[in-house]
Structure 1
Amino acid sequence: MSNKEQAQIATAKCETAAFTVDEVATYFRISRASVWRLLKSGALARARIGGRTVIRRLDADAFLARAAKVA
């Protein structure tokens, strides 16, 4: 198996359906406080599961797409 194939498999295993606030901060390369501001303003959608705040990957990617159009 080539290195490229191994990297693709590793990437596929790491993809998740939802992020925690910390994971979104890492994904966007911003602070946790900035993520919370986006959530509180409604710019970034969230869900509550078992008392935890999660952000669907779909919503995170949609936010990035909207932000890229503005920039």
Structure 2
Amino acid sequence: MGRRKKISTAQPVLLSVAEVAIMLGVCRTTVCQYLNHEGLLSILLRGVRRIHPDSLYE
């Protein structure tokens, strides 16, 4: 019997623009528009934009 690979069910603390686009069912450009014009909160970490999941519900 082989070892089974464990699948993580934990959700990430911060999401990338691509992950947010998948969650919302829109393209990355639309998420960028939300960031620039609609006030979607995000942070910049080492040149990569990250979004907290709670800000998607606000």
Match of 2:42 in 1: 46
Matched, 1:26 2:53: no
Match of 1:12 in 2: 9
DSSP-derived class of the 1:30 partner: coil
- Following TM superposition, where does structure 1 have runs of at least 4 consecutive aligned residues deviating by more than 3 angstroms? none
If the length of structure 2 is used for normalisation, what is the TM-score? 0.76
Q: Aligned-residue CA RMSD in angstroms?
A: 1.7
**Deviation per residue, 1:22-53 (Å, 9 max, x gap):** 00000100011100000011421110011110
Higher helix share: 1
If the length of structure 1 is used for normalisation, what is the TM-score? 0.64
Q: Supply the AA of the counterpart residue of 1:19.
A: L
Using the aligned pairs only, state the percent identity.
19
